[in-house]
Structure 1
């Protein structure tokens, strides 16, 4: 009791020390500051296309976010940063940024942020020609519980990727299914894009009639909206359509496409248009557009490289600043807690030493007490069992033999022989009891000892069959299990000889990968398991098998013989 109280108060002391440290180290919430930084990045910079400044503020918000407790803001900031890098052609940098968010998507509550992460990542893979992963992340986006238009957008992305892979028939089936959806029909821009892509798939599969129909249908919608990028895409597809059949008309569309993309300074589409123009030009015109192409490539490379370096520097500087601030905070906190922690460590050390010694002593006395009690119980049970056997099996026989010797004339030959037979029976029973309680050999001679014990029950009236005993690798079996097998079989055979009047007994041994199986069968008179006279013997048999984590099943009925199934692990 005194030890328990000591342990309890020690635990309370340790708990109070831990709580004290936790209160000191608990950081203040920065959620309001994070929301403010993201709002500045959104409204003042991202919406006004000042992407470098927007990137700076998103990165600043991300670095003070806890990615577990404030996963939505953390992932939102990373998504925006990845989009900005993607706009600037830094697909590898964008992929690295979005990848930072992936481990924390499981904490995000807004499914739209998860969708943004997957779609941005898929676009990066598409632009780096990793079509397999591009499709994979669109499929992940499709599995999310989002608005229907987002599911349709993901399907559209998959169709575009298949088109880029040259799988035009597969892509076509998806686009055709999309244009039947009300969300697409009610969205002119999305509908025109899908129709244009359907036309391109038909063009690539040489169905020119359908290709022109869908190109033209898309162009009519785009003319109404009059957006340069979308019109430029239609012009380029018309150019490709007429490239072989009407080169001059194709050239006209190429130049119109280039003009539209130049008006909005869309670098990638300008370069794509110039490639097409150069392919279909010659002489001075070829030289003119080749020079424009080379200069544009050089300019784009320089601009994008500067952007990449700038974004990398922003991320590096923020990390460096965060690491330095963290070091300063840690150093200050350690100075404040140094004395307190030193005292706590000393006290905890003393408590642990005293507690450990107390537990060792308690455990020692407990185990010693348990061991002694089990030894006493085992000794008592053994002595009780032997005493009962001596009383049940020998006392009456000795009394009857003594009475016979006193009342009969021992000079007569038949009386003398009867007395000798009685004494021989008493001797045999005494020897059996002695063997039941003698030490069992468990070394390499165990198999021989077990056979000898079993064979002693073979007689002129009992035919005993033994099978499979030599198939068991007894040297691999635990000593206690071998003793248990010996005693259990001995108990069964003694009961058979005393009660069953069996003439045939079979004992079969079988080894499996992990177990040893023993089947005992005799053709005796059988027993009613509910009213047996030697219930204690069977109870001992069951307890012995269960003690070695084995299984036992006893099956018998009057005039039906006696069967025992035993199984135990090797």
Structure 2
């Protein structure tokens, strides 16, 4: 290890010689034209994408993103960003897709092709829809409507808005849009689009209890879809029929549930299969209930693993590319500086050369030392994270699944109370799986950090828990170290998870403020509280305490049975 007291004076000498010998910086660097390379890489990526090799396609699209000039070659840049976001979206990585697609937004104004802007807005709206941000989902479809594009794109954007309103259970508003759409010739001439709108109209009528119109439109849609024979569209029709007949004719409803599951299985659409399975489980009993429950649990487990691997893979591709690019820029910068230094110091004496070479050697040694230490810390962090995840999966998720299977085997599931308990257990398993996924996602620490932190905190806001945040946007997070940002994110996440698991709080408040070059965070909830001398609980907060101490911060916990839970955090910036 290089002692700082030796390195710093030598480094100052090196800087002095550089500035004393350099009268001006070289400013005549000629930008490289990368358009030919961009076109070549896009062709390779497109070929992989067409052959469903999305990991390779994502890799080459990401290479394009780093060498493409977003201002002089905006079309290729935005198109590439759209393709990357679409790949992540198809793997259900909606947060990752959103993070990718927003990189295109600053350059929309340079586009000459409106359809690329339309694709960007619609892709972003779909991500918001799948993360339940309906307000922004509608907003970006409305932005798409303002563009001068083909009429079918405007109709598609209107259809998207109607679908979002359906998700918000605003069926009357949604119905008005759908009814207007089926009067358009472009819709009528497209059987797939026309059948989709008819099916949604029928479902909206069903939800507002106009059963006569509902069955009429559902039948019209099904008739068209049976001719087209598209498994996904048939599955959607069948599942709407199942919901329509669920109360009036359970046998017929069950038939449509099974038909829907069969169609979605043909194309291996996991999300829709899970929806169909959930309906089947709700309307099954005994061995049939057990059979479908096991299928449901296994399907949830398998898709979680597959999607998590895909998310990690895409995140790694982006991270590795950025790292390589940064290192290449550093190497080019060092090379230019060295050449300039040699040119301007050719008449200096041998002592100057020795000092410069020695200083450069120290810098290189320090660089490789810091790189090696950083890699070691990353490996240790990865190992600890994997160990923690494995422990959670074994201690929590696996035990819950075993308990649920045992419950299904030993209880009479024809009894409503037992059936309801099984569904509750399955829902708890799903929630726990989703929580583990959220706890281990990559944390963004750029200018979007405030938004990401807000989204994470807001995710704990439920009908039974009112959560408020004050002062978050008053802090300039971009001036705070990346490690500190990640630490605060994880600490707040840990506190909120503990709140959700243990406190049953109905009110949670998190306040941020700065004072004397320190950031202060006050967390409080009105939950059950706990005796701070409780050893088990202190162990639960061990990670929180260690994280705060690692950033040279202070933490104070105040709680008691029936007195809620309060945490005071202070750290320098």
* Cα offset, 1:163, TM superposition: 0.4
Q: Does 1:28 align with 2:32?
A: yes
- Residue 103 of structure 2 aligns to a residue whose secondary structure is helix
Partner of 1:236: 239
Partner of 1:104: 107
User: C-alpha separation between the residues in 2 aligned to 1:191 and 1:50?
Assistant: 32
Partner of 2:197: 194
Question: Cα RMSD over matched residues?
Answer: 1.6
Residue 161 and residue 333 in structure 1: after superposition, are their counterparts in 2 closer, same or farther (change >3 A)?
same
Q: Does 1:256 align with 2:259?
A: yes
> Of 162, 167, 170, which residue of structure 2 is paired with 1:167?
170
* Cα offset, 1:27, TM superposition: 2.4
Partner of 1:81: 84
- Which structure has more RCO (C-alpha within 8 Å, separation ≥ 6)? 2
CA deviations on 1:2-40 (whole Å, 9 max, x unpaired) are xxxxxxxxxxxxxxx99x9444x1122011111111111
User: C-alpha separation between the residues in 2 aligned to 1:332 and 1:152?
Assistant: 55
Partner of 1:336: 339
CA deviations on 1:362-386 (whole Å, 9 max, x unpaired) are xxxxxxxxxxxxxxxxxxxxxxxxx
CA deviations on 1:211-237 (whole Å, 9 max, x unpaired) are 111101011111111110000101101
- Residue 100 of structure 1 aligns to a residue whose secondary structure is coil
Partner of 1:222: 225
Residue 108 and residue 339 in structure 1: after superposition, are their counterparts in 2 closer, same or farther (change >3 A)?
farther
User: C-alpha separation between the residues in 1 aligned to 2:292 and 2:145?
Assistant: 42
- Residue 321 of structure 2 aligns to a residue whose secondary structure is helix
Partner of 2:549: none
Which contiguous aligned blocks of 4+ residues in structure 1 show a shift greater than 3 angstroms?
20-23, 337-343
The aligned runs of 1:113-128 (5 Å cut-off) are 113-128=116-131
Partner of 1:37: 41
Q: Does 1:289 align with 2:292?
A: yes
User: C-alpha separation between the residues in 1 aligned to 2:213 and 2:140?
Assistant: 31
Aligned length: 324
User: C-alpha separation between the residues in 2 aligned to 1:338 and 1:204?
Assistant: 76
User: C-alpha separation between the residues in 1 aligned to 2:202 and 2:344?
Assistant: 74
Residue 198 and residue 339 in structure 1: after superposition, are their counterparts in 2 closer, same or farther (change >3 A)?
same
User: C-alpha separation between the residues in 2 aligned to 1:39 and 1:57?
Assistant: 9
The aligned runs of 1:59-98 (5 Å cut-off) are 59-98=62-101
CA deviations on 1:224-279 (whole Å, 9 max, x unpaired) are 11110000101101111111111111101100100110110101101111111111
Partner of 1:537: none
> Of 315, 320, 332, which residue of structure 1 is paired with 2:318?
315
Q: Does 1:157 align with 2:169?
A: no
* Cα offset, 1:334, TM superposition: 2.2
* Cα offset, 1:336, TM superposition: 2.8
* Cα offset, 1:52, TM superposition: 1.1
User: C-alpha separation between the residues in 2 aligned to 1:338 and 1:189?
Assistant: 67
Partner of 1:515: none
* Cα offset, 1:77, TM superposition: 1.0
The aligned runs of 1:304-383 (5 Å cut-off) are 304-338=307-341
User: C-alpha separation between the residues in 2 aligned to 1:337 and 1:196?
Assistant: 70
User: C-alpha separation between the residues in 2 aligned to 1:342 and 1:286?
Assistant: 83
User: C-alpha separation between the residues in 1 aligned to 2:211 and 2:33?
Assistant: 63
* Cα offset, 1:337, TM superposition: 3.2
Unpaired runs of at least 5, structure 1: 1-16, 344-570
TM-score by structure 1 length?
0.55
Unpaired runs of at least 5, structure 2: 1-22, 347-573
User: C-alpha separation between the residues in 2 aligned to 1:271 and 1:341?
Assistant: 70
Partner of 2:188: 185
CA deviations on 1:440-487 (whole Å, 9 max, x unpaired) are xxxxxxxxxxxxxxxxxxxxxxxxxxxxxxxxxxxxxxxxxxxxxxxx
User: C-alpha separation between the residues in 2 aligned to 1:318 and 1:108?
Assistant: 25
* Cα offset, 1:59, TM superposition: 0.7
User: C-alpha separation between the residues in 2 aligned to 1:303 and 1:341?
Assistant: 57
The aligned runs of 1:475-494 (5 Å cut-off) are none
CA deviations on 1:61-120 (whole Å, 9 max, x unpaired) are 111111221121111111111111111111100010011111121122221111111101
Higher-Rg member (1/2): 1
